[in-house]
Structure 1
Amino acid sequence: MNLELRHLRVVCAIAETGSVTKAASLLGLAQPALTAQLQRIERILGGPLFERDRRGATPTALGELVLARAKVVLPAMKGLQEDAARLAGNHVTPNQYRIGAVSGPILGGLIARLAAENDSVQVLTHPSHWADQLSEMVSSGRLDFCVVGACGDTVPGTPADGLIWREIAVDAIFVMLPETHPLAHRWEVDLAELAEAQWAVLPGDGCFGDCFAAACARSGFSPRTMYEMDVGNVIDLVQAGHAVGLCKATFRRTHGIATVPIAGAPLRWRHLLGWHPRSQAAEFADAMLAHAVAAYEESAARNQHYIEWLKLNPQFKPQLSIA
């Protein structure tokens, strides 16, 4: 087996995160699969690339050599792919958009607005749990736009991606409870009241897990089991009363489930639109952002509890026109 670019990306991910487990999460792989891949890479190169212990993974001398070369090769290949994609005409036209998105309230409304504006428009979508994956696809010319989320003030990807990011809106994070739960009909719920709960969340990257753990610590407890699963299974688990869910405030109302604000609004989720400034998609970015904001407004307006709550928490609607 020959060394490939994907192998260099694996080595870089482990070095950047300092952990095989964290690198596996970053790359969207299972930890055993990434460990096996690292072992194959080390066999190709003739020695261990990392010293691994309970504190994480530290590059060996051979690992440092590979990382130094990878930091030259990967940006060069990325630039070649971007330039080749644009030269080959692999770009957006007014009648076609390639949009990647993580789970959220915006993509469906965005597609509807693009279609209403031009009934011949073709929208090709690429779903993912991983914002960094989508930003890399935009950077390399495989997507025109991505609609992603970020916790706090961070943005996905790296500065080398060269993307422009614009904020669509800021969502508060609510809890999902079965309608039979004693707290389901409260105006707000304090996190401390859910100290004994098990939690169900969507998978994803970024710092949200750390932010949630910190919010729980400020409320005096550490969260119990955190189940990562797709949205259908999260709903099933909450409806059955086996877990409490975390969701964006704009989560569409579902039979048997109540969404309740968290007192003090300790968690937020910024919806972002990203594109590459040198792509032809950039010409349509302002219109795309306007459609995305309108799609978010429509989604927020479906939740009357959220609209009333926003009146007391205006920091969560910088782009909204809801009175």
Structure 2
Amino acid sequence: MELELRHLRTVRAIADTGSLTKAAAALGLAQPALSAQLRRIEKALGGPLFDRDHTGARPTLLGELVLERARVVLPAVSGLQEEAVRFANAGAAVQRFRLGGTHGPLLGGLVDRLASAHPTAPVTTHTSWSVTEIATLLVDGRLDYALIGTCGESPPPREDRLVWQVIGVDPVFVMLPEGHPLAGRPELELSALADECWADVPGDGCFADCFTAACAEAGFTPVSVYETDTASVVHLVQVGRAIGLCRATFPPAPGLVTRPLAGSPLTWRHLLGRHPRSPGTGATAAVAAVAGHTRAAYAEAVRRSDGYADWLTTHPRFGPAA
């Protein structure tokens, strides 16, 4: 039998779990099938790889040698596969901009600026609620740049593979219908909204947990939270069904106002990401240009937001990144 990568993964799974039963479950195999496969691997390698008894499975000296090599080979092959997929998806060496992002006005602003500055270059977008999905497409070379957001100081996805830079940091504001009794206040305590229903957009980060924790700190549990698309959030606020959560750079909309929360208990970072070895972003000038257009789109969003530019003058830790 010739040794294959799947055999190394099997040996590593047994070592990691310390048990053939647990390794079989992790690999989606029946234990007898895994035991038979291990016997074939040990025969091919010349000796037993594990000492097994009722307490589990422990690597032999030969097993330790195989595991040491497997821990080098498997990540290297995985990295090779990622590189190959990324380069295969890079396409011809023509100027183009493949952008990914979560739903938000900054992505539209970036597309507009790139299309104006590079009228002959194709600009395409892929949007998703999942920053993990966007990051995976960036790693695989299916996107050149990603514009996403993360809650507070939480790390961006795939930091081991991607380069991220902070474009700006916003507090989270609330959206109220114009006729709401608190709409006239310049700033709101979160506790003043304890009896309200809420609406925001979904995501796979920690924002929902952070919002729940902020409410608990303010002394209440949210009555209900509608997770839906941006247009539906706006509609629910306009008709008085819910209070919306939004970034401070959220653009004006008819029938509602945005207001800051006292103490800014929730924050949002806007991030621009790229793969350091992606052919589509290899030129330093191109990277700098996209970053510059992204910062300009963010600055424009700040100017358009209802009162946010004035609010920033007394809250210097927010706004454009240095």
Return the TM-score normalized by structure 2: 0.74
1:110 matched to 2:110: yes
Tell me: CA distance 1:228–1:86, structure 2 relative to 1, closer, same or farther (3 Å).
Answer: closer
Q: Secondary structure at the match of 1:309?
A: helix
**Is contact 2:299–2:320 with CA below 8 Å preserved after alignment?**
no
- State the secondary structure of the residue aligned to 1:247: strand
Whether the 8 Å CA contact 2:252–2:306 is kept in 1: the answer is no
Aligned match of 2:311: 309
Task: Output aligned runs, 1:50-89, within 5 Å.
Answer: 78-88=78-88
State how 1:166-181 maps to structure 2 within 5 Å: 166-181=165-180
Q: Which residue of 1 aligns with 2:153?
A: 153
Q: What is the distance in 2 between the residues matched to 1:304 and 1:245? A: 15
CA contact (8 A) 2:178 2:257 kept: yes
Runs of 4+ in 1 over 3 A off after TM superposition: 41-44, 71-78, 85-89, 91-94
SS at match of 2:237: helix
Determine the structure 1 residue equivalent to 2:264.
Answer: 265
Q: Among residues 24, 29, 33, which one is paired with 1:45 in the alignment? A: 29
SS at the partner of 2:83? helix
Asked if the contact 1:91/1:141 (under 8 Å) is kept, the reply is: no
Please list every run of 5 or more consecutive structure 2 residues that lacks an aligned counterpart in the other structure: 1-5, 10-24, 32-55, 57-66
Aligned counterpart, 1:219: 218
Letter in 2 for 1:285: V
Of 76-85 and 270-279, deviating more is 76-85
**How many angstroms apart in 1 are the aligned matches of 2:194 and 2:238?**
19
Distance in 1 between the 2:133 and 2:77 partners? Answer: 17
Residues 93 and 311 (structure 1), Cα distance of their counterparts in 2 relative to 1, 3 Å cut: farther
**Alignment-mate amino acid for residue 247 of structure 1:** C
> What are the within-5 Å matches in structure 2 for residues 1-323 of structure 1?
45-46=29-30, 78-88=78-88, 90-91=90-91, 93=93, 95-160=95-160, 162-280=161-279, 281-283=281-283, 284-319=286-321
* C-alpha contact 1:100 1:127 (8 A) present in aligned 2: yes
> 1 CA distance for matches of 2:187 and 2:86?
50
Amino acid at match of 1:152: G
**For 2:87 and 2:250, how far apart are their aligned partners in 1?**
41
Please report how far the alpha carbon of residue 317 of structure 1 lies from its aligned counterpart in structure 2 after TM superposition: 1.5
1:103-123 residue CA offsets vs partner (Å, 9 max, x unmatched): 222111111211221210111
1:282–1:149 distance in 2 versus 1, CA, 3 Å: farther
1:218 is displaced (CA, Å) by 1.7
Q: Distance in 2 between matches of 1:228 and 1:89?
A: 33
Identity over aligned pairs, percent:
46
CA distance in 2, matches of 1:92, 1:144: 13
**Could you tell me which amino acid in structure 2 is paired with residue 158 of structure 1?**
R
SS in structure 1 at match of 2:105? coil
Amino acid at match of 2:308: Y
**Which residue identity is paired with 1:267?**
L
Query: In structure 2, what is the Cα distance between the partners aligned to 1:87 and 1:194?
Result: 51
Gaps of 5+ in 1: 9-40, 48-60, 62-67
Distance in 2 (alpha carbons) for counterparts of 1:236 and 1:304: 18
Distance change (3 Å), C-alpha of 1:87 and 1:179:
closer
Aligned length: 263
Asked if 2 retains the 8 angstrom alpha-carbon contact of 1:155 and 1:165, the reply is: no
Say what the alpha-carbon RMSD is for the aligned residues.
2.9
| Alignment partners' CA distance in 2, 1:258 and 1:139 | 39
Q: Is the 8 A contact 2:298 2:320 kept in 1?
A: no
Task: Note the alpha carbon deviations across 1:162-182, whole angstroms, 9 max, x for none.
Answer: 100100101111001111101
Structure 1 residues 42 and 276, CA, compared in 2 at 3 Å: closer, same or farther?
A: closer
In 1: Cα distance, 2:95 partner to 2:288 partner: 16
Counterpart secondary structure, 1:286 = helix
Letter of the structure 1 residue corresponding to residue 213 of structure 2: A
SS of residue in 2 equivalent to 1:315:
coil
**Cα distance in 2, alignment partners of residues 172 and 311 from structure 1:** 14
AA partner of residue 79 (structure 2): G
Following TM superposition, by how much is the alpha carbon of 1:44 offset from its aligned partner in structure 2, in angstroms? Answer: 5.6
